[in-house]
């Protein structure tokens, strides 16, 4: 079996998507308008596919977007997506070969990091990805969860129609991008695709849309769905699924959660993709009414260590030499000297002795400040050569807020 790896051509576009849908086990039958919005923005240049003769047997690609890193700089980020291998061709190394080509392609485009959401968390560590943005899923009995503490809320929440949401939500999203590391900036096409998805359907019906504004500026929004459960004609119970709670400051966070916890008749509220430093637990009178489940959100992969590390600032001043082991693409590893602090940083290849040896996945894990190197060291994922260097790394890589990514891509 000879497998060819390359981008798909325009003529192969439909076959690429059919193969992808089948890889995830689905039949996707969109309208022409939906197909255009959903799929034509994904250009051949973003793709890397595997072909067995004419048949597409592997799909992958990367959406180039921008996201913030600690210190507030915006970096380029290869958002890896659409990864499948046909069931007829699995476990023969096709993903292993395809991923390497995709990562090389994205590095050539000048992306310092790649990131992705994994369908299964055991897949990507072998390719150098580290768990970088962890989330929490919340389940709340809203009859018992009472907000006891709240910051001052100077603005107001109001319901908006899908048309108005299309106009005001982008401003709130951009505010969130600038206040948290890791949130992808959305372009016009992404918002059009999002708006198209608001047509309703399915047994959850259409979502409710709420914006939080201060002085006419949108600083947050929530998008939620409700479902009633009836027994003998009586409503016994209602579910509220808070699909998106996007906030950019304490007031927008508190206002939106006040709203969600006060939707009467719907007593079981669930949400996913909350940042791990969400302040909701500290606002409640009784924290036990909030069930929290950790979840692996976004995996990061360094494509260019020097460029990625020098893009962010560091909480404490310091200088460290890392020996970065990249077993998947060895020439991207090596020894790097990082010198940084709150005002900026540099990172360059060096021949100096290493303070710390670690795999590229571990460096990717701590990149946005979402995990401590000391925890990884205790797990046997890092080796310290100079006493105190892991502690120094932790004080440097610390971030004011945990990274967060409320968008699945």
Q: Is 168 annotated as a binding residue?
A: no
Task: State the Cα–Cα distance between residues 147 and 51, nearest whole angstrom.
Answer: 56
Among the listed residues 42, 224, 328, 409, the single catalytic one is 409
Residue found by looking up tokens 């849908």 in the block: 21
Cβ neighbours around 203 below 10 Å, total: 6
Task: State the Cα–Cα distance between residues 167 and 163, nearest whole angstrom.
Answer: 7
Q: Is 72 annotated as a binding residue?
A: no
Closer of 85 and 361 to ligand COA (Cβ): 85
Residues that bind ligand COA (CB under 6 A): 23-24, 83-85, 90-96, 118-120, 122-123, 126
CB of 50 to ligand COA, least distance (A): 8
Closer of 88 and 395 to ligand COA (Cβ): 88
3 state SS of 78: strand
Q: Is 59 annotated as a binding residue?
A: no
Closer of 84 and 142 to ligand COA (Cβ): 84
Quick check: is 124 catalytic?
A: yes
Closer of 11 and 122 to ligand COA (Cβ): 122
CB of 183 to ligand COA, least distance (A): 19
For residue 220, what are the β-bridge partners?
212, 247
Task: State the Cα–Cα distance between residues 126 and 123, nearest whole angstrom.
Answer: 7
For residue 298, what are the β-bridge partners?
117, 133
Both tokens of 273, joined, read 């993709």
DSSP line for 268-314: EEEEEEEETT-SHHHHBS-GGGEEEEEEEEEEEEES-HHHHHHHS--
Task: State the Cα–Cα distance between residues 225 and 295, nearest whole angstrom.
Answer: 21
CB of 252 to ligand COA, least distance (A): 31
Give yes or no for a contact between 280 and 148, defined as CB atoms under 8 angstroms apart: no
Q: Is 85 annotated as a binding residue?
A: yes
CB of 51 to ligand COA, least distance (A): 14
CB of 399 to ligand COA, least distance (A): 26
Among the listed residues 42, 124, 266, 314, the single catalytic one is 124
Q: Is 119 annotated as a binding residue?
A: yes
Task: State the Cα–Cα distance between residues 375 and 383, nearest whole angstrom.
Answer: 12
Task: State the Cα–Cα distance between residues 302 and 219, nearest whole angstrom.
Answer: 31
Q: Is 96 annotated as a binding residue?
A: yes
Q: Is 88 annotated as a binding residue?
A: no
Both tokens of 270, joined, read 């669930």
From 341, 344, 342, 351, select the one nearest 321 (Cα to Cα): 351
Closer of 82 and 260 to ligand COA (Cβ): 82
- Residues annotated within a binding site: 83-85, 91-96, 119-120
| Residues catalogued as catalytic | 124, 409
- Residues annotated within a binding site for acetyl-CoA: 83-85, 91-96, 119-120
């Amino acid at each position: 079996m000879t497998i060819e790896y390359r981008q798909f051509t325009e003529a192969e576009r439909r076959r690429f998507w059919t193969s992808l849908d089948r890889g995830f086990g689905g039949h996707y039958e969109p309208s022409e308008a939906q197909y255009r919005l959903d799929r034509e923005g994904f250009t051949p240049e973003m793709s890397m596919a595997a072909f067995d003769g004419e048949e597409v047997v592997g799909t992958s690609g990367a959406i180039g977007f921008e996201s913030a890193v600690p210190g507030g700089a915006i970096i380029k980020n290869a958002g890896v997506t659409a990864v499948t291998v046909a069931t007829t061709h699995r476990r023969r190394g096709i993903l292993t070969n395809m991923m390497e080509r995709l990562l090389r392609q994205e590095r050539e485009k000048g992306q310092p990091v790649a990131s992705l959401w994994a369908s299964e968390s055991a897949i990507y560590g072998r390719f150098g990805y580290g768990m970088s943005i962890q989330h929490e899923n919340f389940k709340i009995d809203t009859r018992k969860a009472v907000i006891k503490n709240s910051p001052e809320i100077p603005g107001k929440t109001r319901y908006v129609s899908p048309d108005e949401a299309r106009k005001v939500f982008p401003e709130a999203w951009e505010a969130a991008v600038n206040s948290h590391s890791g949130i992808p900036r959305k372009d016009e096409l992404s918002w059009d695709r999002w708006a198209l998805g608001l047509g309703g359907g399915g047994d959850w019906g259409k979502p409710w849309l709420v914006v939080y504004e201060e002085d006419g500026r949108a600083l947050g929004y929530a998008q939620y769905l409700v479902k009633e459960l009836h027994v003998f004609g009586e409503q016994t119970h209602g579910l509220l699924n808070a699909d998106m709670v996007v906030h950019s400051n304490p007031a927008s966070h508190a206002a939106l959660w006040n709203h969600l916890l006060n939707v009467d008749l719907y007593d079981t509220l669930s949400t996913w993709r909350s940042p791990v430093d969400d302040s909701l637990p500290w606002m409640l009178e009784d924290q036990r009414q909030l069930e929290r489940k950790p979840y692996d959100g976004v995996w990061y992969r360094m494509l260019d260590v020097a460029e990625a590390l020098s893009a962010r600032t560091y909480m404490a001043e310091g200088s460290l030499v890392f020996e970065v082991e990249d077993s998947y693409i060895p020439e991207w590893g090596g020894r790097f000297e990082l010198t940084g602090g709150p005002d900026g940083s540099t990172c360059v290849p060096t021949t100096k002795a290493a303070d710390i040896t670690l795999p590229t996945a571990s460096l990717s894990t701590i990149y946005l400040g979402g995990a401590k190197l000391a925890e990884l060291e205790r797990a046997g994922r890092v080796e310290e050569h100079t006493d105190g260097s892991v502690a120094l790394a932790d004080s440097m890589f610390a971030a004011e807020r945990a990274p967060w990514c409320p968008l699945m891509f």
